[in-house]
Chains A and B, each alone.
Chain A
Amino acid sequence: MSAILAVIRRELTLARRIGAGVELGIVFFLILISVVPFAIGADQKLIGRIAPALLWLAALLATLLGLDRLLQADEEDGIVDHLQLAETPLMLVLAAKALAHWLVTGLPLSLVAPLLGLMLAIEPQAMLPLSISLLIGTPALTLIGLIGASLTVSLKRGGLLLSVLVLPLSIPTLIFGATVVKEAAAGRAYSTPLMLLAGVSLIMLVVAPLAAAGALRFARN
């Protein structure tokens, strides 16, 4: 238990100190959303229509971005050796890492997303569902990314490979998450996609730490 707390505390300290943490993630999110109108034009109606997809895509990319360093930095410092020697099983240690990563990326993104949604002319009734869908769905993205981070832990240029491995697996999360927001914006019931989204997150909660622990051991064997 103390190992899990130690992992979380350390990740939060690092996020605060190196500044690669909360603020930068939100700034990245903001920039992604800001460049979209330049690409598609200042058509408020069109932007409003694709806003749910844009917000979810931005969340996906923002989550993915920090993931390649999640384990690779530890590997370079020799800390992954110590993770493997921890008194707590490796899968729990990795789950703690994922939780810490989510606390500094997925969680703040979920909270500020409605504000950014305003800029994208999203329907007011979709604001809360947007937040909820991100709160429920971004853990799945982080967990899927954890598997990719473990597989590419000792590879140079692992970041690109990580995206190639992880993005196809993120598709169900993206589908259900964006649909929640879209249905809510259209004033329809969105409980089905929300349930499915929660289902994906729960499956990943079971599968990902296990797979990541195996992948990490084997990738550095």
Chain B
Amino acid sequence: METAPKPSLWLRLANPAAFNALANVLLWPLIVGTIAAFGYGLYGAFMTSPADYQQGETVRIMYIHVPAAWLSLFVYAGMAVSALGTLVFRHPMADVAQKAAAPVGAGFTLICLLTGSFWGKPMWGTWWEWDARLTSVLILFLIYLGIIALWRAIDEPQRGARAVAIMTLVGAVNLPIIKFSVDWWYTLHQPASVFRMGGPTIDRAMLTPLFVMGLAYLLLYLVLLIVRMKTELMVRRIERLQIVAADKQARQGGSR
């Protein structure tokens, strides 16, 4: 046990009450920041930025689509770090964060897939194209779903956290392999007419709103993560209180 008079922030956060206190301080500024960033970003995306000379107005889907793709990977990376936190440091908040992040990450991935599909309809003339990037994101989505299903199948969150952490890390090891294999597969089967999403040459006037939207997504993620972590802590607390109450009742009833 640490006997230092003032433990590091990291250690103090292991206490749910300390986490909640910090979360309450951060939550409102983050919410305000999220709204502001979305407001500015969406205004830029739909009002000030130019339409693409080839794609026309549909290029605006990019501002929703591309940041979602960034976040789908960013959230997974965060989960992998949390998984390490669970396995190596046994940090109690790590498994809460891991559990809270999974559905949010899956949500961003789904947004990426759906907007990709909307974008594909006018561009490719079809709702779905087995394009290398979309396919990789689809597999990432499936891995998210597997992890969420695993969480739901495990009845005791503390007990299951390390098992899920292993699955998350196995997924992290596999993602580059999957990405490589899908890219490789795609070059082998590449159809003739293809439009590559978000090519390397994007005009400055498009880049700024794109990055602001990325920031907005990131802030939204942090807000959702904090809210979900608080909820998860509350759920655990309620379960604990229920058991304590049931034990007390059993003792008083003399049925033990």
Residue of A152, A172, A207 ringed by the most chain B CB atoms within 10 A: A172
Q: Within 8 Å CB of B173, what residues of A?
A: 203, 207
| Residue B110 at the chain A interface, CB threshold 8 Å | no
Q: What is the bound-complex CA distance between A161 and B148, given in angstroms?
A: 10
Across-interface contacts of A196 in B (CB, < 8 A): 181, 184
Contact of B174 among A152, A169, A179, A221 (CB under 8 A): A169
Q: Whole-angstrom distance between the alpha carbons of A175 and B154 in the complex?
A: 32
A214 at interface (Cβ–Cβ under 8 A)?
Answer: yes
Whether B171 and A169, one on each chain, are in contact in the complex, defined by CB atoms closer than 8 angstroms, is yes
With an 8 Å Cβ cutoff, the count of chain B residues facing the other chain is: 30
* B181 lies within 8 A of A176 (CB): yes
Q: Are B178 and A172 in contact (CB under 8 A)?
A: yes
A175 touches B166 (CB 8 A): no
Interface residues of A in 166-205 (CB under 8 A from B): 167-169, 171-172, 175-176, 179, 196, 200, 203
CB of B177 within 8 A of CB of A200, answer yes
Mark each residue of chain B from 156 to 169: 1 if its CB lies under 8 Å from any CB of chain A, else 0. Answer: 00011011011101
- Min Cβ gap B134→A in Å is 14
Interface residue count for A (Cβ, 8 Å)?
27
Instruction: Evaluate contact between B166 and A215: CB separation under 8 angstroms.
Output: yes
Taking the nearest CB of chain A, how far is it from the CB of B176, in angstroms? Answer: 10
- Nearest residue (CB) in B for A183 is B188
Segment of B27-35, B137-145, B217-225 engaged in the interface with chain A: B137-145
Are B182 and A175 in contact, CB atoms less than 8 angstroms apart?
Answer: yes
What is the chain A residue whose CB lies nearest that of B87? A214
B residues touching A (Cβ–Cβ < 8 Å)? 87, 139, 142-143, 145-146, 149-150, 153-154, 159-160, 162-163, 165-167, 169-171, 173-174, 177-178, 180-182, 184-185, 188
11 contacts between A and B (CB under 8 A): A157-B153, A161-B153, A165-B146, A168-B139, A169-B170, A171-B182, A207-B173, A211-B166, A214-B87, A215-B166, A219-B160
